[in-house]
Structure 1
Amino acid sequence: MNFEPYPFEKLNTLLQGITPNSEYESSILTIGEPQFETPHFIQKALCNSAAQLRKYPKTAGEDELREAQREFVEKRFNVKLTDKEIIPTFGTREVLFNFPQFFLFDKKEPTIAFTNPFYQIYEGAAIASRAKSIYLNLTQENGFKPEIDEEKLSSCHLVILNSPNNPTTSTLSLEELSIWVKLALKYDFVLLNDECYSEIYTKNPTPSLLEASLHVGNSSFKNVLVINSISKRSSAPGLRSGFIAGDENILREYINYRTYIGCASPLPLQSAAAAAWREEEHVEEAREIYKKNFEAAREILEIEIPEATFYLWLRVPNALEFTKKLYKNYNVKVLPGEYLGRDDENGFNPGKDFIRIALVEDTQKIKSALKRIKECLS
């Protein structure tokens, strides 16, 4: 298998040999990892359940965690799932990598479509599945929303959307998601939405593909799946708690496949995750911090505040050179957008001339970094 280096490896190569300006405090705004302490009640739940380390965890997840996740979905999206319509996962990276391999294994000429730019695990899953990749380009001209080409979609077995989107910050409305559900039913492909940023919204709660499925009368979630994670919402990426939910006919076979993978979450992590999924106050507090960070960005960089995520997708002249200059002169690290995208059949990379900025620090640090970015731009 020939995998592309991860974006952060490419960034390290780009910045190799550059000595940053020591007059400024280092500011690393590259990775989507919240730089806030995991709430104490989650840490306490983890400590209190440490004795469970003596037991093997179930592949299907413990009842406590499954119930907490179903409660979250019902409370947040007004969607009531059965126990057969959800599977706890070890975060979402592993499921995004192994689910396509499971699902595409028996397909002749497997084909997967996903948004471009993208979370690189989508591409890795396609390579591991020996699948043809179709890019759904996200550009300024289309509002960073995937354009629909029914001829191409008709050949797909699996389509991965990512709304709210990393890195472009775009969000699909309920009606837009509903169109995609209808397409999945029309052309009989499985539609999976990566919803890991659903809880980091700035004003109105963002919709789920599960809601859209019900909206068009697809109450069995046929061909529809979503994934979600606790990493962003609870500042707890180390808990590795996620889930995949939707079409129970697909999940019934997928859970059998998962028994061979060996990625069941340790019981103490499951107990702590269950506590986190059930509690909303800490999520609201985190949203307020990110909102203040976006308000600072609007004031300093004069940009519009996105509907969701904690990123800025900023157009700059010559992103690679700008990234080097910003690091050298101002000690700020950002991620060039072209590292998150690929050239399409026409040689066009929709990430080119953009940088992704992760607003994952406290507001004071973010303001300092944004001012340096503005000075570098000018």
Structure 2
Amino acid sequence: MNFEKYPFEKLNELLADITPNENYALSALTIGEPKFETPKFIQDELQNSTALLQKYPASAGEPELKQSMINFIKTRFGVELNMSQLIPTFGTREVLFNFPQFVLFDKQNPVMAYTNPFYQIYEGAAIASRAEVIHIDLVKENDFKASLSDEELKRCDLVILNYPNNPTSAEMTKSELGEWVKKALEFDFILVNDECYSEIYFDEKDKPASLLEASIEVGNNEFKNVIVMNSISKRSSAPGLRCGIIAGDENILKEYMKYRTYVGCASPVPLQKAATVAWNDEAHVEGFRKIYRKNFELAREILGIEPPKATFYIWLEVGDELEFTKNLFKEKHIKVLPGSFLGRNGIGKGYVRIALVENETKTKEVLQRLKDFIDGK
């Protein structure tokens, strides 16, 4: 298999020969990893569950973990699932990589489409599946919203959307997602939405919709051909728990569950216990949302940008993104991620991705430093 280098490896190579301005401490705005302590009640549950390390974890997940995920989806999206419509996963990275391989295995000439720019696991999964790729290009002219022609959709076996979107921060409405559900039924392809940023939003009236909601709205109450994935990593500032969800079409998930018993990626029981209390609590999530909301208020004040409705990313248009990245590192000791490292066929060129994942004090300082650079100071 010939995998592309990961974006962060490309960034290290780009900056390798540059000596940064040591008058500033390094500020890395590159990776989508929250820099806040995992809430104590989650840590306490993990510590109190270490005796359960003596048990092999079940591939299907502990019943109480599954129930906490079902509770979360009902409370957050108003969608009631049964146990056969959901599987806990070891984060979403592993499932985004192996689920396409599972569903495309029996296809003679598989075709997979996904949003571009993208989380690189999508591309890796396509390579591992020997799939032909159709890129769903997200550009300013289409408001970074996914669209393909019927002729392209007729060829697809699997489509991966990602809304709220990484890296562009774009959203699709429930009705827009519903149109995608209709197409998945009309042309009989599997439709996935990677929803791991669904809980990083800033206004209750603009909460991101789930593909599950959209499926019900268009009358697909059994979620035929519809799959969503979500994660605790961003929601609870707990990426180390490696706890994700795959939910939707129970006929697909029944067979996928058989596959997972061979993969061997079950989460250790203490991690499941800690994740259970995290999924069942909303107060700590609102606390994190307040921090991100303040960070984007600072970005509006300092950079003059319009904050997104969701995610913690700024998709900043800068011209030559490679030169911008190199010079910003050299002059201000700030790392950002060139958009061209996240896209293919020229998509992402001219942009950088900035992750606002620090506290208010650090965010204000680094945004002012970034503004000074842009202004030539």
Q: Does 1:59 align with 2:25?
A: no
Q: 2-side partners of 1:122 and 1:317: how far apart?
A: 26
Q: 1:210-225, aligned counterparts within 5 Å?
A: 210-225=212-227
Find the residue that maps to 1:98 and give its secondary structure: helix
Q: 1:26-37, aligned counterparts within 5 Å?
A: 26-37=26-37
Q: 1:231-270, aligned counterparts within 5 Å?
A: 231-270=233-272
Which residue type is aligned with residue 183 of structure 2? L
Residues 4-59 of structure 1: CA deviation (Å, up to 9, x unaligned): 00000000000002111111121010000000000000000000000000000000
Q: 1-side partners of 2:276 and 2:191: how far apart?
A: 27
Give, in angstroms, the shift of residue 368 of structure 1.
1.2
Find the residue that maps to 1:141 and give its secondary structure: helix
* Aligned equivalent of 1:123: 123
Which residue type is aligned with residue 111 of structure 2? T
Find the residue that maps to 2:363 and give its secondary structure: helix
Find the residue that maps to 1:325 and give its secondary structure: helix
Residues 118-153 of structure 1: CA deviation (Å, up to 9, x unaligned): 000000000000000000000011001112311101
* Aligned equivalent of 2:50: 50
Find the residue that maps to 2:136 and give its secondary structure: strand
Give, in angstroms, the shift of residue 256 of structure 1.
0.1
Q: 1-side partners of 2:216 and 2:81: how far apart?
A: 12
Give, in angstroms, the shift of residue 205 of structure 1.
1.4
* Aligned equivalent of 1:364: 361
* Aligned equivalent of 1:350: 347
Give, in angstroms, the shift of residue 182 of structure 1.
0.2
* Aligned equivalent of 1:190: 190
Which residue type is aligned with residue 211 of structure 1? E
Find the residue that maps to 2:193 and give its secondary structure: strand
* Aligned equivalent of 1:103: 103
Give, in angstroms, the shift of residue 166 of structure 1.
0.1
Find the residue that maps to 2:262 and give its secondary structure: coil
Residues 77-129 of structure 1: CA deviation (Å, up to 9, x unaligned): 00000100000000000000000000000012100000000000000000000
**What percentage of aligned pairs have identical amino acids?**
63
* Aligned equivalent of 2:282: 280
Residues 236-283 of structure 1: CA deviation (Å, up to 9, x unaligned): 000000010000000000000000001000000000000000000000
Which residue type is aligned with residue 140 of structure 2? Q
Which residue type is aligned with residue 18 of structure 1? I
Find the residue that maps to 1:260 and give its secondary structure: helix
Unaligned runs of at least 5 residues, structure 1: 344-348
1:373 to 370, 373, 376: 370
* Aligned equivalent of 1:76: 76
Q: 2-side partners of 1:53 and 1:94: how far apart?
A: 22
Which residue type is aligned with residue 234 of structure 2? K
Q: 2-side partners of 1:370 and 1:353: how far apart?
A: 19
TM-score w.r.t. length of structure 2: 0.98
1:339 to 341, 349, 353: 341
Which residue type is aligned with residue 226 of structure 1? V
Unaligned runs of at least 5 residues, structure 2: none
Find the residue that maps to 2:357 and give its secondary structure: coil
Q: 1-side partners of 2:370 and 2:336: how far apart?
A: 10
Q: 2-side partners of 1:370 and 1:133: how far apart?
A: 37
Which residue type is aligned with residue 98 of structure 1? N
TM-score w.r.t. length of structure 1: 0.98
* Aligned equivalent of 1:20: 20
Give, in angstroms, the shift of residue 224 of structure 1.
0.1
Q: 2-side partners of 1:369 and 1:353: how far apart?
A: 21
Q: Does 1:140 align with 2:137?
A: no
Q: 2-side partners of 1:132 and 1:317: how far apart?
A: 31
Q: 1:321-332, aligned counterparts within 5 Å?
A: 321-332=323-334
Q: 1-side partners of 2:374 and 2:149: how far apart?
A: 37
Q: 2-side partners of 1:294 and 1:376: how far apart?
A: 19
Q: Does 1:303 align with 2:305?
A: yes
Find the residue that maps to 2:163 and give its secondary structure: coil
* Aligned equivalent of 1:346: none
Find the residue that maps to 2:315 and give its secondary structure: strand
Which residue type is aligned with residue 374 of structure 2? L
Find the residue that maps to 1:256 and give its secondary structure: helix
Which residue type is aligned with residue 377 of structure 1? I
Find the residue that maps to 1:231 and give its secondary structure: helix
Runs of 4+ in structure 1 over 3 Å off: none
Which residue type is aligned with residue 133 of structure 2? S
Which residue type is aligned with residue 63 of structure 1? P
Q: 1-side partners of 2:60 and 2:299: how far apart?
A: 42
Which shows bigger deviation, 268-277 or 142-151? 142-151
Q: 2-side partners of 1:150 and 1:15: how far apart?
A: 42
